[in-house]
Structure formats: C-alpha cells, structure tokens
Structure 1
Amino acid sequence: MRSIGFLVFDGFQVMGMAALSVFEVANVIAGKPLYDIHILSKAGGPVRNSLGFSIDTAPMGDVFHDTTITTGSLTVKPAPPALLDYLRGAVTGSRRVAGICTGAFVLAEAGLLEGKRATTHWGHARSLAQRYPGVRMEEDRIFVQDGNIWTSAGMSAGIDLALALVEEDLGRDLARSVARAMVVYLRRPGGQSQFSTLLELEPKSDRVRKALTYARENLRNELSVEELADAARLSPRQFSRVFRLETGQSPAKAVEHLRLEAARAMMEEGRHPMEVIARETGFADRERMRRAFLRTYGQPPQVLRRAADNERIMGTA
C-alpha cells in the first residue's frame, strides 16, 4: 500500500484537498486499500483552512511517505520553517514530491524547484518566476513533472495531477475509472493549456453553450452550422447571428479551435498516430490538420508532437 503525506498549514487553500478524493476513490474502485492518506502539519492537531474551519492533522515528525504533497494558500505568504525543512528531507525520503496550485511557491522556497520545470496557478505564475528566477516556469500547463517533482496549476488542476499519479502507479485503466467515478470529463494531460476553448469563448446563453458542448463531444461529425443550430434548437440563420454576437467568432472558427485543443491533448498522450488523431478530432486527414495548426500555432503538429515527447522523456528522467 502506498502512503500519501498531505502537508497543510494555517490558512491553506481548501480546494487543494480535492486531490485526495482521487486516492480515496481509487481505493473504493479497487475494493482494497491502495493508498493510505495522512494529513500532516507541524505539530498536529486542528489546522484552520481558507474557509475558516479546522481539520485534524497528525504531526509531520521525521517519517516520510511514498508521495508527499503540499498545498498552497490563496494569498502567497512565507511557509512555516518546519514545513520547508520537512520538504527538503522529503525530496530524498519520498518517491515523489508534489505542489498543488501555489504549493509550487512552498516547493520553490524550500529550494526544490531550482533548475526544475514547474507550473502554478496562471494568476501567480509570473510572480513565482520573478521571485525564483532559477525555476523554469511553464505558466500555461495543467501540471508538470520534472524527475520526482510534480507541480500543478490552480484549483481543479490538482485533481488532474493526482489522476496522473494514480496512472503512473496503477495504470491508465484505473485512472480512467477514477475519473469517471468523480464525473471528471477527461483527465487532462499535463501539457494542456490552463485556458480551455470553452472558457475563452464565454458563451452567455444556455443554447450556445449547449451547442459548443455538443460540438466538443462529437468532433468526428461534420459539425455544420445546421447541425449545431439543431443542437441549440435555433434556426441556422438565428444561430449564426447569436453565436457570433456572444463569442465574437464564427461557429466554424470555434469548432476548429475545439478540434485543435482535442488534437493537442491526444498528442500529449503520445499513444496515437497522426492519422488517428486527425480522424478522431474531425480534421479527416493529416493535411487539413496540418494547415489548421499552422494557422493557429505557426507550427505543424509534428513539431508540437516532438515537444510533447521530449517533455515526457524529461519528466521521467
């Protein structure tokens, strides 16, 4: 059984604890204890979180767990010295050390991110890079693995990091089962942008939002204006007008962005040939996908695929 040491301190951001549900659900699905979770603080006892209520903790002591995870706080502040000392020991005493959201600041303060690739919440990424110039900040990543050090973006990205840890430990099938049980739409690969196409479009009406959700879930379809309008229960003419008014772009351009986002995610996984990616994301063929990548990213998909492959190699080195 693998032990998880989850480090907290006064005022820690409570959303970070959502990552622990991944390990809890893994135990339930497996029908046996795969993970033993320990919530730790300097001296043990009750520790108040960002919402003002307390949770019981055990003292950190001098015992290290298989995986040590630290969360952060909504307002970045210096970490307790005892916590930093514990993390410095955990980098060799634990198999893996992770920082969720602004927990990356805690890892950086402990000196664990010097020369390492890392990420954090997009709203704090530049601050971390300025404060710790030795960190190789990748501010638009969901999570980053560099050796045995893992960091994640903010809020729900801690769940993605935890799912990746489960996948590394116990395989892709179990991680997917956990994601389904938690009603997580998709375990996002680490290299995926923190900003999703649906968030950037910011549709205001339920009808346009429904059409975009339909498009994302049916990328292999043609996704013509008529098909999307039918999903939104609007006439094609009315749908095109409302869609552009709410999102600032045409339905065709929005669909292309959704296809590109899905294609990049599949490339990050590294398991599919380009022909399969083009077919599954609705580009139909590699050439059409290549042109879309050049228009949007200024690079062909092969270049981005090689970068993703190199990132995985570096992460496991």
Structure 2
Amino acid sequence: MLKNVAVVLLDNVQPFELGVVCEVFGIDRSDEGLPVYDFAVVSAAGPVLTTHAGFTLTTPFGLDRLEEADLIAVPAGGDFSSRTFPPELLDALRRAVDRGALVLSVCSGVFVLGAAGLLDGRRCTMHWRHAAELAVQYPKAIVEPDVLYVQDGRIITSAGTAAGIDACLHLVREEHGPQVANAIARRMVVPPHRDGGQAQYIERPLTPTNCDRVGEVLAWMARHLEEEMTVEELATRAHMSPRTFARRFQQETGTTPYRWLLRQRVLYAQELLEGSDQTVDAIAGRAGFGTAAGLRHHFLRTLGTTPNAYRRTFRVTEPAA
C-alpha cells in the first residue's frame, strides 16, 4: 500500500509540476476519511534551490529520505533534456526500483529516469515537443508520444503539465480504489479520470533532424501529405537504400516513416477541422486519407474521437452561413 511519498527537487524545477505532486500527495485530507501520506520534498542539489520561475526553495530533507519512500516523484525542470544529474540521485532511483518502489516522472522529469537507465525496454511518454528527443537520447526506451501517461511495471511517466495530475490520480486509483481518487479529484476540481491512452491534442511541428537528407525528405512529406508515398520512393529522394533510410529515419524521429506520415496527416486534419469550413470529405482528401471513412478510422485510433466531435470541441472559426 502506498504510504510514503518523496518528491525530488533539482535546480530549475518547474513550480507547477512540483505543485501537482504536492497537491495530490502532500495535503492532509483525513477530515474526509482520505489517506494521509508521509510526504517529503527532497533536495538533490543542496539546501537552497532556484525554481524555473526564479524564486528559491529550501527543504530539510536530503537524498537519504528516498530510501524509505514507496513512491518517488520527479517533476519537470528547465534544461532537463540537456543536463547531467547527480550520480547519487540516479543510484537512489535505481535502488528504489530494485526494492519495489514506484517512480513517477512529470513531463521532462523523464530525462532523469532515462539517465538512471530506468527507461530501457520500458514504455514511456512525455510532452509531445520533446518526445522525439527523448527517443534519440534513450533509444532503448519505447517512447509513446501521443498519450497522457504510461505505467510500465514500477515506472510511471506522464506528458506535460495537467497530464501529471492524471498520472498521480491514476496511482491513487490503483493503490486505493476509484472512490478515493474521485474524492481527491473533487477537492482539486479536476476530471476524476482521463485514461492514459487518451491522445495529447497537439499542433503540427516538423521534427528537427541532424541529417540534412532526412530533414529534406521530412519537409517534402509535410508538403505532400495528400500523395501516396512508399519507403522505397522516400529512400530514393534521400539518395539512400530503403534499409538505410528507414534506420536513419528512426534515429532522427524516433518512429517509422509510416507512423510519422500518419501522425502528420492527422495533425493537418486537426488544423483544418479547427480553422476551416471545409467538409470532412474535403479535409480527408487534403490530408491524405482519401475518404471521410478513412479519416474517421484513423481519428478514432489516434485521438480516440471522431472528426465531427473534434471540430465541435476545438473549432476556432464560425461556420459559413
């Protein structure tokens, strides 16, 4: 049973992501008959730390406090994707998993887990903006960039900002049942349950690459989403063999050409549904799905909703008279 919770502080921590964990696990709600956790905020970098917002934090707890925690949470921080972390923290996280503790990351906190080797062979996620970078840095990780949170064994990873709330409430639900999770959600005035597999609604970014030839092909694919294309044709355009192209594409984007193309088509369809009056049939053609049925099929598989339902929720222009 989950009783002891510790949150790791590193310099440049994001206050919101830290606050998410504190809100779910650090507040005494015993007046409502809810669990009370032995909760501590633990410093991994000295007695005084500066947050990403510029103010400072202090805590009396050091890394030794992690040795007794049932759950260790690692919130996001600035530059986590490009910095190193204290070896003693990474050792403590590995020991925690070895003894059966849970380890949770919020957004870019996942890079700390990756540095500790805890993502190898495991499914994980994070904010869509940095998912490809995570896949490149930790190629043994199985990165799922389109979901809110993932639990693989004792490791839980979540996407940006509010998805951390979802992941924390998921843990409460797993450990204490839906009634407890729902009661905490009511206190926080948030939805009691968003399934981890629910898609992140995102814009249509073009993945940066280190390979000019792959980057040029990505740009061409993004401009010709309505056209049919094969790996062989794309490899020819990149002046590579199909096998080499597929390997380099995976290295640069963290996914396959087919999955990247499918995701870009869905994202483009999202843009058109949000900002145009075109019919679903016309959008399906422009986005490369051919028919409204094809678009509906992939929308349901990728986003868990239909094109019409998405348009009703996210439309930013009024329909034409």
Aligned match for 1:175, one of 181, 202, 206: 181
1:41 aligned residue = 43
The residue correspondences of 1:78-227 to structure 2 (distance < 5 A) are 78-195=84-201
Contact 2:5-2:37 at 8 Å conserved across structures: yes
Contact 1:3-1:65 at 8 Å conserved across structures: yes
The residue correspondences of 1:294-309 to structure 2 (distance < 5 A) are 295-298=295-298
Contact 2:14-2:78 at 8 Å conserved across structures: yes
CA distance in 2, matches of 1:300, 1:182: 30
CA distance in 1, matches of 2:165, 2:173: 12
Q: Which amino acid is the alignment partner of residue 74 of structure 1?
A: G
How far the C-alpha of 1:186 sits from its partner, in A, is 4.7
Per-residue displacement from partner, 1:37-94 (whole Å, max 9, x unpaired)?
Answer: 1111136522221112122221111623011111231322222222212111111235
> Secondary structure at 1:191's aligned position in 2?
coil
Residues 29/137 of structure 1: CA separation in 2 closer, same or farther (3 Å cut): farther
Q: Which amino acid is the alignment partner of residue 130 of structure 2?
A: H
CA distance in 2, matches of 1:245, 1:191: 22
Contact 1:293-1:300 at 8 Å conserved across structures: no
Q: Which amino acid is the alignment partner of residue 248 of structure 1?
A: S
1:71 aligned residue = 75
| Structure 2 unaligned blocks of 5 or more | 205-271, 281-290, 305-321
The residue correspondences of 1:45-56 to structure 2 (distance < 5 A) are 45-56=47-58
CA distance in 1, matches of 2:124, 2:274: 35
How far the C-alpha of 1:33 sits from its partner, in A, is 4.8
CA distance in 2, matches of 1:72, 1:43: 15
> Secondary structure at 1:99's aligned position in 2?
strand
Per-residue displacement from partner, 1:120-153 (whole Å, max 9, x unpaired)?
Answer: 1111100000111000000011000001110000
1:248 aligned residue = 276
Superposed CA RMSD in Å reads: 2.9
Q: Give the aligned length.
A: 219
1:22 aligned residue = 24
| Structure 1 unaligned blocks of 5 or more | 201-243, 254-290, 305-317
> Secondary structure at 1:114's aligned position in 2?
coil
Q: Which amino acid is the alignment partner of residue 59 of structure 1?
A: G
> Secondary structure at 1:63's aligned position in 2?
helix
Identity %: 36
> Secondary structure at 1:7's aligned position in 2?
strand
- So what's the TM-score if we normalise by structure 2? 0.61
Per-residue displacement from partner, 1:13-56 (whole Å, max 9, x unpaired)?
Answer: 22211232112457356446521211111365222211121222
Q: Which amino acid is the alignment partner of residue 175 of structure 2?
A: D
Contact 1:116-1:146 at 8 Å conserved across structures: yes
> Secondary structure at 1:162's aligned position in 2?
helix
Residues 116/56 of structure 1: CA separation in 2 closer, same or farther (3 Å cut): same
Contact 1:27-1:35 at 8 Å conserved across structures: no
- So what's the TM-score if we normalise by structure 1? 0.62
CA distance in 2, matches of 1:19, 1:249: 42
2:62 aligned residue = 59
Q: Which amino acid is the alignment partner of residue 47 of structure 2?
A: G
Residues 247/185 of structure 1: CA separation in 2 closer, same or farther (3 Å cut): farther
How far the C-alpha of 1:111 sits from its partner, in A, is 0.3
Residues 172/25 of structure 1: CA separation in 2 closer, same or farther (3 Å cut): farther
Contact 1:25-1:181 at 8 Å conserved across structures: no
Q: Which amino acid is the alignment partner of residue 16 of structure 1?
A: E
CA distance in 2, matches of 1:298, 1:246: 17
Per-residue displacement from partner, 1:162-218 (whole Å, max 9, x unpaired)?
Answer: 00011011111221121122111352110011117xx99xxxxxxxxxxxxxxxxxx
How far the C-alpha of 1:292 sits from its partner, in A, is 8.3
Residues 249/168 of structure 1: CA separation in 2 closer, same or farther (3 Å cut): farther
CA distance in 1, matches of 2:110, 2:273: 39
Per-residue displacement from partner, 1:254-307 (whole Å, max 9, x unpaired)?
Answer: xxxxxxxxxxxxxxxxxxxxxxxxxxxxxxxxxxxxx98854234987xx9xxx
